[in-house]
Amino acid sequence: MVNYSKMKNKNVIMGFCFFLFLLPSLTFAQEGGEDIYINQLGFLPNVEKIASVHAVDEGDFLIRRTANNQIAFSGQLEKAAYWKSSGEKILIADFSKLQEEGEYYLEVPGGGKSSKFTISKDCFKNVLQATSKAYYYWRSAFPITKEFGGEWNRPLAHPDTVVFIHPSAASKKRPAGTAISAPGGWYDAGDYNKYVVNSGITCYSLMSAYEFSKQSFNSLSMNIPESNDYTPDILNEVYYNLKWMMSMQDPHDGGVYHKLTTANFAGEHMPHKVKNRKRYVVQKTTAATLNFAAVMAMSHRVLKKDYPKFADQCLLAAEKAWAWAGRYPVTFYEQEELNKKYDPDINTGAYDNKKLKDEFAWAASELFLSTKNNEYLHHAMNYYKTIHHIAVPSWGNTAMLGIYSLLNNRESIPLSDRKEFHILNRKLLKMADALVDSYLKSPNRTAFGNQEAHFKWGSNAIAANQGMLLLQAWILTGKQMYYDAAYSNLDYILGRNATGYCFVTGFGNQNPKYPHHRISAADGVKEPVPGLLVGGASNMKLPAFQFPSKYSAKRYQDEYKCYLTNEVAINWNAPLVFLISGLSNNF
């Protein structure tokens, strides 16, 4: 085992004080920036550095040092192009040749000034810490103390040591009303319920981030209660949720309950002040069981060194879940139908996926890698050879996750077993090439934001997942264009977008103050919990709101009740953690 505990211990001593010192500086107000879209945190030294300008038709730009206003770089704005998604003519300021570390701002004569930004090899260290630590603040059944949570401290809530079998989940050995214990895990999003399906892709993305960027995470202290041990903090945090997921498996047959929930969403209250609400585990489903099987099989590999006994339990549970899914391949979660049959009605998040061939392929891929049983590989490859289109990953489409895992672990697989892996490679690169093409042709010079389909609910997570895919392509090929396109999407999330927002709470010149997050709304603290990625601009409709523009890239509202654009969710933060760590660790 690599001994990096000294690095962590040293950081833990300083971590909390440094984080409290950091936050005020991250939310400073500055003049200017409305006419210049730029990554508000900064840039790594040797990467492409782009700003988007829309206040002028042509001209030059200057990069000045904030310390003395001296010019550090000058250049000419590239010819304007019309960005259909924002309804604006965009000119590109390219200052990639500026690599000297320091603090700067961009000025366009007659077009204003940008917010300040840094060029530094550590420019994303604090936002990586915060987006990773967000999961600590999402913990259920755990007291968030002042020592680790600062002003966002709160008492333990939802211990979930007594939750009830909902009639939809009843079985002979666990009839309706049976009390079981299922403590721990993360609140899913802005609400206080816990969902296996969404936990699946979240845990996968975080463990993948660790495997992709071990150097970053081995020395990163998130200042959580486990920071003094020998295990990377990001794995400690994933372990906290995996233990809860393990409790959601019925030990008698291997099926997995879809979610742990109250009958209805709670109001705008702190979790410990939500009184007298019974919590239930609801129907076992194929989707939940396959997500569980995939993540537990992966956990067997990733956690083997740090949690060996638990890792062995994970593999046994994964195989038991796979067997259940094979017996019940079409047990879907249909909330409206369940509510016609059973009481009480359940009206919380559904995660109601009915297309599960991709989940079977993902689970089979992970099980193959952990068991080397070729039956699992054959199942996965039979699917991947026949499927024509694979989407960027989401909780409802997980096919690409199996491809990532198989390709990233290809060196551990005998040549005879990976003779058809060129199929996987081709499918991944086809998607990556399309994103690079989007990036190169984009008036905003970002891979994201050039199609209406990008601006769905949770558009920022789409941008982050695109970046994750592009980094996978970069590692496979070593081609810089994939890295640059991935970096462009981080630029987008951190400020180079048509709203002018850095979409991560607590960071940048202009950031969300009112995320759809019950804790941030009810805790009495001026600033929201830091490190949360909000959903972002959306072309979907929300009748109660009038958005500031008809253009999709501008349709964002920083209001608590505007869940369409300001929701937060565990599965949205996770690919951002991957993207930040992957770009920073490997630049």
Same domain, 94 and 197: no
Domain-ending residue, one of 119, 142, 169: 119
Rounded Cα–Cα distance for residues 450 and 127 (Å): 26
Residue 278 and residue 160 in contact, taking contact as beta carbons nearer than 8 Å: no
Determine, yes or no, domain membership for 515: no
> What would the two tokens of residue 203 be?
């845990």
- Reported pTM: 0.94
Could you read off the pLDDT of 58-100 as tens digits, one per residue?
Answer: 999 999 999 999 999 999 999 999 999 999 999 999 999 999 9
Work out the average pLDDT over 313-336. 98
Work out how many domains the chain is built from and give that number.
Answer: 2
Show the DSSP H helices in 61-165 as ranges: 125-137, 146-149
Same domain, 61 and 205: no
Rounded Cα–Cα distance for residues 201 and 449 (Å): 23
Rounded Cα–Cα distance for residues 84 and 443 (Å): 9
Q: What percent of the chain has pLDDT over 70?
A: 94
Determine, yes or no, domain membership for 28: yes
Determine, yes or no, domain membership for 444: no
Same domain, 377 and 274: yes
Could you read off the pLDDT of 3-28 as tens digits, one per residue?
Answer: 333 334 434 333 434 343 344 333 33
Same domain, 411 and 264: yes
Residue 281 and residue 195 in contact, taking contact as beta carbons nearer than 8 Å: no
Work out the average pLDDT over 268-291. 95
Residue 348 belongs to domain with CATH number: 1.50.10.10
Same domain, 374 and 327: yes
pLDDT for residue 587 = 59
Same domain, 326 and 212: yes
Determine, yes or no, domain membership for 214: yes
Strand bridging mode 280-284 / 163-165: parallel
Return left, alpha or beta for 223; rule: phi > 0 is left, psi -120 to 50 is alpha, else beta.
left
Determine, yes or no, domain membership for 29: yes
Determine, yes or no, domain membership for 114: yes
Could you read off the pLDDT of 176-234 as tens digits, one per residue?
Answer: 999 999 999 999 999 999 999 999 999 999 999 999 999 999 999 999 999 999 999 99
122 is known as an active-site residue: no
3-state secondary structure 407-463: HHCHHHCCHHHCCCHHHHHHHHHHHHHHHHHHHHHCCCCCCCCCCHHHCCCCHHHHH
Same domain, 43 and 167: no
Rounded Cα–Cα distance for residues 164 and 371 (Å): 34
Same domain, 264 and 371: yes
Residue 105 belongs to domain with CATH number: 2.60.40.10
pLDDT for residue 84 = 97
pLDDT for residue 34 = 76
Q: Which of 226, 306, 558, 559 is catalytic?
A: 558
Residue 357 and residue 383 in contact, taking contact as beta carbons nearer than 8 Å: yes
The mean pLDDT value of the chain amounts to 93
558 is known as an active-site residue: yes
Same domain, 60 and 113: yes
Q: What percent of the chain has pLDDT over 90?
A: 91
Strand bridging mode 42-43 / 117-119: parallel
Tell me how long the chain is.
587
Q: Which of 485, 504, 492 is nearest to 583 (CA)?
A: 485
Burial annotation 330-347 (CB, 10 A radius, 16+ → b, else e):
ebebebeebeeebeeebe
Range of the domain at 33: 5-119
Same domain, 89 and 160: no
Confidence of residue 585 (pLDDT cuts 50, 70, 90): confident
Could you read off the pLDDT of 28-61 as tens digits, one per residue?
Answer: 333 334 799 999 999 999 999 999 999 898 999 9
Determine, yes or no, domain membership for 580: no
Same domain, 115 and 164: no
Same domain, 192 and 99: no
Domain-ending residue, one of 419, 437, 467: 419
Domain-ending residue, one of 365, 400, 419: 419
Rounded Cα–Cα distance for residues 118 and 113 (Å): 15
Could you read off the pLDDT of 343-356 as tens digits, one per residue?
Answer: 999 999 999 999 99
Q: Which of 191, 237, 250, 567 is catalytic?
A: 567
Determine, yes or no, domain membership for 544: no
Q: What is each CA distance from 98 to 254, 274, 480, 496, in whole angstroms? A: 57, 53, 18, 18
